[in-house]
Amino acid sequence: MARLLQQRPSAVNDGFNYTPGIQKIFISLAFFRVKRPDLFRAAFNGSLQIEQVKEFYGIREEMIENRDRLRRSPSFNPDAYTISGLWSCLITGNSNADGNDHFSSAFDTFGDFNPKDIYEVLKHEFFGSFKLPD
């Protein structure tokens, strides 16, 4: 990870000018780039599946069940719920992924987003200039 960020040290700071959804996806993609380059490539070529994201993070269904605050699974994990929901929203292009508008609004204040635009921002603003040194 350090080698990746050395190529563009300001990448993380630059990310704070972007929405929370883009920031979280950027960090997730940085992890993919280092640990699972196949998932990194799949994200940008449109073949990444939510099951692959869940497997990478070890997310189980009971960790993301969120029927309501009173009936959550004891295994509910807000971090797992967030990363799964953001990726689901981005992968499917469904602004109401998992029945929750807050995922699309993490990419755009009004929930009006185009996944292709988000990938373009991430590719050109952050990952376009990243090259891992040998």
Domain spans, the chain: 2-129
> Measured between alpha carbons, how far is 82 from 113 in angstroms, rounded to an integer?
17
Give the pLDDT score at 105: 78
pTM attached to this predicted model: 0.77
List of residues 6+ apart from 90 with CB closer than 8 A: 21, 25, 107, 115, 118
Closest CA relative to residue 98, chosen from 86, 111, 80: 86
Closest CA relative to residue 122, chosen from 1, 32, 2, 3: 32
> Measured between alpha carbons, how far is 102 from 66 in angstroms, rounded to an integer?
13
For residue 16, name the pLDDT band (cuts at 50, 70, 90): very low
